[in-house]
Amino acid sequence: MTKVRTVSLPQDLCAEAERQFGGRFDNIEALLTFVLQEITKADTSLLDQAEEQIIEKRLKDLGYL
Amino acid sequence: MKPRSLILVTVDCLRADHVGFLGYSRPVTPFLDSLAEKSAVFTDAIVAGAPTYFSFPAILASRYPLALGRDILGIAPHEQTIASALKNAGHRTAAFVAGNPYLSSRFGYNQGFDSFHDFLNSIPDGEPLSPGNGFKSTFNRFVQSSASHNSLTADAYEELYFWYCQWRSAAEGFSMDALRRYPAADVVVDQACSWLNELAKEPFFLWLHLMDPHHPYYPSGDALSALKSKISPRRAVFLNSLWNRGHVAVRRLERYREEVVSLYDAGIYWVDKQISRLAGFLKQSQFWDELVFAITADHGEEFLEHGARYHSPMSLPEQLIHVPLLLHVPALLGKQRVRTPFSLLHLAPTLLDAVGLPSPTSFQGRSFWPRIFTGELPSEPAVVECVEACTNPLRREDRIRPRLMAVRDQSYKLVINFREESERLYDLKNDPEERAALPLGDLPKERARLLQVAREHLQKTSRNLTVDLRLRSRLRELQQSAELKARVL
């Protein structure tokens, strides 16, 4: 099992998040896990980077980089 | 100074070379042609993405379509748009969107509007005469597949299918109005006029999105008559059925191209006629002289010029990315022609400036308004981007695919296909129809210049990603899928 870490958050913020998203997430940990996964998710940014590299390679081939 | 009112009309699928004021020979846009004589016409307006779901973030929020990550669709929750900017400035705001589901509140397009009408409840379920899964459809597919092995039997099948469609449509007594998939422009304009009627003298922003040229092509009978077309509803059913079939060879479709284009043109004619009616209403109500009026399109439409139909993001030809743009400001602008490429990314800031308001800082485009008067517009390439072959953006996995990008200036266009790691450079001056890409070794300097623009665009995208807008969009999507699941369960 993945090790877990405890973080401290303002209580009223957690309550508000539970009020707004309680129906969609089992608990506040699940909501925050989703948010952090979204921030760190790499699938779209990896494609961006790969595309930038394709252009850079082409520019190098043409002698313009 | 009191801010002016603004009307923005966007027409789905309206390509630049099918309006009279940009040179089309068929008289489909008599009103807009006359208006163009007193307006600024951007002869080289280029969308920032195609189709609709990749074009509209730029039109309304002045943001490149993939700037929040290519998996994000629509306007992000709390994202600033031209509507929210005008609402914040005290304008009354309303939108009448003729049933395009990608421009609905689900994707945030209602943001900033006091009144938002997407007509989605009035759209019939399913296509008329769409193939089903019953015995007759299975048998039809079997016969079609068997007949396709040689051209004689394939032609015979096609004729049989035509007569079958004729028989079915005759039996069901279709009319063009019954066959139409989206509310026609007259319905949308009627509702817009009702809303305008209720206004006092406060400034307003009205956005109309019209779908008449969108397939399936079932224009008003009056529009067909005005264009002297004798295509009957039965024939239109056949043409649309045939045009929509994936397997039919281009050479065979070519035979029907002119008729299909006639149906498309009649849709444009109807839009023109209804805009003329709207303008008449605005003149009568004494709104016309005080407002900024703009008309453009979210993308064009292909009719086999490069083998494709409709407007899928497969290759970004001119037929898809070059759109009309006309800006009419009665008291200020006379006849002006802007001949440099103008990305629709700059439309919202230009319109806000014309109205007399600053743009939100989140806008990626900038205003060209003051320069329209001097004619000193910078000639800079327009960037068009989309996810290649993403024809069902509702599936997230379809959005996580390589980009397709075009960098387009006055003379050249470079189309970069990242999946193939290939590029095509077109010389638009000598080959405006993009018949053949230049050989790979040709014009290395021009090629590198446009590649450099593409590189800077990608660098800016990754550097300036707005994480909070992205997150809000993902949470919205999650919330919507949870709600959908709850409804299904």
Complete DSSP assignment for B39-97: SEEETTEE-SSSSHHHHHHHHHH---TTTT-TT--SPPTT---HHHHHHHTT-EEEEEE
Give the global pTM.
0.91
Are B478 and A39 a contacting pair at CB < 8 A? Answer: no
With an 8 Å Cβ cutoff, is B220 touching chain A?
no
- Has residue B21 got a pLDDT over 60? yes
Strand partners, B416: B405, B423
% of chain B with per-residue pLDDT over 70: 93
pLDDT value of position B86:
98
pLDDT value of position B73:
96
Are B400 and A47 a contacting pair at CB < 8 A? Answer: yes
A64 pLDDT tier (thresholds 50, 70, 90): very high
Are A55 and B478 a contacting pair at CB < 8 A? Answer: no
- Has residue A23 got a pLDDT over 90? no
The CA distance from B330 to the nearest CA of chain A, in Å, is 44
Are A58 and B71 a contacting pair at CB < 8 A? Answer: no
Question: Which three-class secondary structure state does DSSP give residue B10?
Answer: strand
Q: Which residues of A touch B418 (CB under 8 A)?
A: 50-51, 54
Q: Chain-wide mean pLDDT for chain B?
A: 92
With an 8 Å Cβ cutoff, is A33 touching chain B?
no
Q: How far is CA B98 from CA A12, B14, B158, in A?
A: 43, 15, 33
* From B105-119, B134-148, B204-218, B409-423, the region with the lowest mean pLDDT: B134-148
With an 8 Å Cβ cutoff, is A55 touching chain B?
yes
pLDDT digits (tens, 9 = 90+) for B430-471: 999 999 999 999 999 999 999 999 999 999 987 887 888 998
With an 8 Å Cβ cutoff, is A59 touching chain B?
yes
Q: Which residues of B touch A54 (CB under 8 A)?
A: 416, 418, 421
B276 pLDDT tier (thresholds 50, 70, 90): very high
Selected for mutation to probe chain B from A49, A55, A61, A62 (highest B CB count within 10 Å) is: A55
B95 pLDDT tier (thresholds 50, 70, 90): very high
* From A9-23, B281-295, B312-326, B401-415, the region with the lowest mean pLDDT: A9-23
For B5-128+174-488, CATH number out of 3.40.720.10, 3.40.50.620, 3.30.230.10, 3.30.10.20 equals 3.40.720.10
- Has residue B162 got a pLDDT over 80? no
B403 closest CA partner among A47, A34, A12, A62: A47
pLDDT value of position B125:
57
Which ipTM value was assigned to this complex? 0.87
% of chain B with per-residue pLDDT over 90: 76
A1 pLDDT tier (thresholds 50, 70, 90): low
With an 8 Å Cβ cutoff, is A51 touching chain B?
yes
Q: Are B385 and B345 in contact (CB under 8 A)?
A: no
With an 8 Å Cβ cutoff, is B416 touching chain A?
yes
What gap in Å lies between CA B399 and CA B387, rounded to an integer? 6
Q: Which residues of A touch B462 (CB under 8 A)?
A: 45, 48-49, 52
With an 8 Å Cβ cutoff, is A63 touching chain B?
yes
What gap in Å lies between CA B197 and CA B179, rounded to an integer? 31
- Has residue B240 got a pLDDT over 90? yes
Q: Residue A39: which of B458, B461, B471 has the nearest Cβ?
A: B471
Q: Are B108 and B79 in contact (CB under 8 A)?
A: yes
Buried b (16+ CB within 10 A) or exposed e, B361-398: ebbbbebbbeebeeeebeeebbbbbbbbebeebeeeee
The CA distance from A48 to the nearest CA of chain B, in Å, is 7
Q: Which residues of A touch B454 (CB under 8 A)?
A: 55
Over residues B468-478, the mean pLDDT reads 89
Q: Are B226 and B24 in contact (CB under 8 A)?
A: no
* From B14-18, B42-46, B164-168, the region with the lowest mean pLDDT: B164-168
pLDDT value of position B173:
66
Give helix B52-61 / helix B347-355 axis angle, nearest 10°.
30
pLDDT value of position B133:
54
* From B133-147, B238-252, B341-355, the region with the lowest mean pLDDT: B133-147
What gap in Å lies between CA B38 and CA B40, rounded to an integer? 7
- Has residue B489 got a pLDDT over 60? no
What gap in Å lies between CA B399 and CA B417, rounded to an integer? 15
What gap in Å lies between CA B79 and CA B470, rounded to an integer? 10
Torsion of CA B21, B26, B27, B29, to 10 degrees: -50
Q: Tell me which of B487 and B280 has the higher pLDDT.
A: B280
Are B471 and A35 a contacting pair at CB < 8 A? Answer: yes
Q: B83: buried, middle or exposed (CB in 10 Å: 19+, 13-18, 0-12)?
A: buried
Residue B359: left (phi > 0), alpha (psi -120 to 50), or beta? beta
With an 8 Å Cβ cutoff, is A35 touching chain B?
yes
Q: Half-sphere exposure of residue B389, counting CA atoms within 13 Å on the CB side?
A: 9
With an 8 Å Cβ cutoff, is A9 touching chain B?
no
pLDDT value of position B486:
66
B106 pLDDT tier (thresholds 50, 70, 90): very high
Q: Which residues of B touch A21 (CB under 8 A)?
A: 475, 479
How many CB pairs (< 8 A) connect A and B?
65
Residue in the block written with tokens 């009319």 = B175
Identify the sign of the CA torsion B411, B414, B415, B420.
positive
Q: Which residues of B touch A48 (CB under 8 A)?
A: 458, 461-462
Q: Which two tokens stand for residue B425?
A: 């450079």
B487 pLDDT tier (thresholds 50, 70, 90): low
Are A43 and B447 a contacting pair at CB < 8 A? Answer: no
With an 8 Å Cβ cutoff, is A56 touching chain B?
yes
Identify the sign of the CA torsion B186, B191, B196, B197.
positive
Selected for mutation to probe chain A from B401, B440, B451 (highest A CB count within 10 Å) is: B451
The CA distance from B59 to the nearest CA of chain A, in Å, is 23
